[in-house]
Amino acid sequence: MTRDTDPAADRPADADGPPADTTRRGLLRAAAGATVAGAASTAGCLGVTTPANVAAQYEVSGNVAHFVGPEWLADNREDAVVLDARSAERFRTERIYGARRVPFDAITSRTQTDAGAVPDTDAIAAAFGEAGVAPDDDVLVYGASVGSRVTRTAFALAAAGHVGDIKVLNGGLSGWNGRIGTGSRGAPTATDYAPDPAAETWVTRDWLAERVGATDGDGPGLVDTRVPEAYLGAPGSDALDPDHDRHGHLPGALNVNWVGNVAGNRMTEPGRLVRLYEVDAELDRDATVVVYGDENVDPTSTWLTLRAIGFEDVRLYDGGFGEWANADGDRGRYPVETATSVVIETEGSVGGGDDSGDFSCTG
């Protein structure tokens, strides 16, 4: 195999990455035809493997939206824009050949309105434009896994009103068996990305205040994606954010920790996800579902997962519990509860960490 530097690589100016003459070329279509969804998370840890069966274990089958395997990227590599959601350091060290990177602080940026914090779609769109992304491009996002840095990037595209397809690479970089780039990469040609904010992808603090705990049945399905200790406001727990004035959860919310969406480097088997959210959590796929966490990154995993398994109207509370718990003024308008709680147990782990390039055989 060979390892390629991108055409615009400038190795003499970048001492952090590997040497420019270190190259690898993979088999772009080695996994063609493979549809092995939900393969054991230890595949590739024992015995001899090839690029084909490493990639094959990350293929996605069934009626699943957004998440795709390496074969999709091999088939669409010339037409799709590839975005790397990892840190700048890991991007320089190794990345999918030709991939681009958008600063993570830009796609998590918020702006304050009278109704509460919302995504700063102007800043988000400007960052995508600087990366050479056009609103009608088909975009594939990848990271070390399918963790929340990846799904936040996908959400940011949707929030800015992206017209092209938005895909996430199941398995992340570990599942890719094609060309790899290294070193610094020159700035791509910028585009004029005019945002068309998709306000239906998020809700505000005041929107929720008018609906949570509604007794007429018109309130949204509300999912708290944090660890159970934070949801319960467990006294003395390390999970409690010391910057929050109050602890607990929004009235009527149930708890499904977002890590249950991820099995190592891939999405959890879709059938298990359907059981988790439709059977165990009893969410209505035809109703509005709002997800939230402490901030606006981790809950995007649940936002994208629910959309992937067929929930039509899924929205993110971008202000998060931090905004709700620390709201000034009428606390009665923004109540927090601990007495009533529903915790749905989950199993899952993010292999290698959101910002890691390591592959974990234990998931």
Residue 35 sits in the same domain as residue 172: yes
Residue with tokens 């990345």: 95
Cα separation, 261 vs 58, whole angstroms: 15
pLDDT at 33 (0 to 100) = 30
Is pLDDT of 136 > 50? yes
Q: Are strands 116-119 and 110-113 parallel, antiparallel or unpaired?
A: antiparallel
Domain end (from 154, 182, 210): 182
Is pLDDT of 87 > 80? yes
**Identity at 168, one-letter amino acid code:** V
pLDDT digits (tens, 9 = 90+) for 313-326: 999 999 999 999 99
Residue 14 sits in the same domain as residue 150: yes
pLDDT at 358 (0 to 100) = 31
What is the band of 52 on the pLDDT scale with cuts at 50, 70, 90?
Answer: low
**32 vs 306, more confident:** 306
Question: Residues 324, 245: contact at Cβ < 8 Å?
Answer: no
Name the average pLDDT for the chain.
Answer: 83
Least confident of 145-159, 248-262, 285-299, 334-348: 334-348
Domain end (from 182, 212, 242): 182
Contacts of 236 (CB under 8 A, 6+ apart): none
pLDDT at 152 (0 to 100) = 98
Closest CA to 212 of 117, 361, 100, 336: 336
Closest CA to 265 of 35, 58, 44: 58
Closest CA to 149 of 209, 90, 70: 90
CATH no. for residue 146? 3.40.250.10
Is pLDDT of 40 > 60? no
pLDDT digits (tens, 9 = 90+) for 328-361: 878 789 999 998 899 999 987 776 554 433 322 2
Encoded tokens for 341: 């709680």
Cα separation, 84 vs 144, whole angstroms: 9
Is pLDDT of 170 > 90? yes
**Identity at 313, one-letter amino acid code:** D
- The residue range of the domain holding 18 is 4-182
Residue 216 sits in the same domain as residue 330: yes
